[in-house]
Amino acid sequence: MSATPDPEYGPPARPATGRRRPDAVPALSTGSVDDVRPGSLLVAMPSLTDPTFAGTVVYVLDHNETGTLGVVLGRPSQVGIRDVLPGWCDLAVDPGVFHVGGPCETDTALCLATCPPGPLDEESGLRRVAGEVCLVDLDVDPEALEDRVSGLRVFAGYAGWSPGQLAGEVGEGAWACVPGVAGDVVSELAGPELWRHVMGRQTGRLAVLSTAPADPSVN
């Protein structure tokens, strides 16, 4: 797999898109694109029917005038980290597999870890995203990070939106933007369980949705 992508370079040229059901009911108030920032979560609303993103939770890595970049959480693959990056498998949380981070550059490995707040040395191999979540340079010696990270997850691919694209999708009610926590990145919950967990800690009508299927087509 290729090296970890740098969010500062912006999203891919062919970004992923969500698709809203045309006959969906009017959207809930789900915030605005102004709420999107590194460390926040994009939670797919029931009206989003694109099979790539239906029922997903996306952790935002970068959001600026060049677009938005993030990784889908809670989507484990069948590929073991030990089989591809054996030096990193002991630092990874269970399950020790690659997670499918999105449809863009799926042959690219991107690594996130949780580590204590505070300044980071430029040569540490860690770069702060938000709070306790850091991007990890997979070219560094993993043994040097054993005492610095408390959890680690490796993603294959990522999700990206071109300038203005995410604003349109949020405005249509395809996504809710909510605060994220470090535990979301390394959570053992997957798929609908993670979606309901995130929605369940919200308030108002978003919390009510936590009792419904992430994808209403499964009703």
Q: How far is Cα 216 from Cα 1, in angstroms, rounded to an integer?
A: 35
Indicate the pLDDT class of residue 214, thresholds 50, 70 and 90: low
For residue 126, give both structure tokens.
Answer: 């860690």
Q: What is the mean pLDDT of the chain?
A: 84
Q: Domains in the chain and their CATH numbers? A: 7-111+151-204 (3.40.1740.10)
pLDDT of residue 213: 63
Distance of alpha carbon 104 from the chain centroid: 13
How far is the C-alpha of 181 from the C-alpha of 132, rounded, in Å? Answer: 8
Report the Cα 183 to chain-centroid distance in Å. 12
Q: Is the pLDDT confidence value at 216 over 70?
A: no
CA-wise closest residue to 72 among 36, 103, 95? 103
Q: How far apart are CA 4 and CA 109, in angstroms?
A: 6
Predicted pLDDT of residue 208: 85
Q: What are phi and psi of 34, to 5 degrees?
A: -65, -20
Q: What is the pLDDT of residues 69-96, one digit of tens each?
A: 999 999 999 999 999 999 999 999 999 9
List pLDDT tens digits, range 127-181. 999 999 999 999 999 999 999 999 999 999 999 999 999 999 999 999 999 999 9
In b/e form, how buried is each residue of 10-27, taking b as 16+ CB within 10 angstroms? Answer: bbbeebbbbbbeeebeeb
pTM of the predicted model as reported, rounded to 2 decimal places: 0.84
Average the pLDDT over 173-190 and give the result: 95
φ, ψ for residue 62 (rounded to 5)? Answer: -155, 145
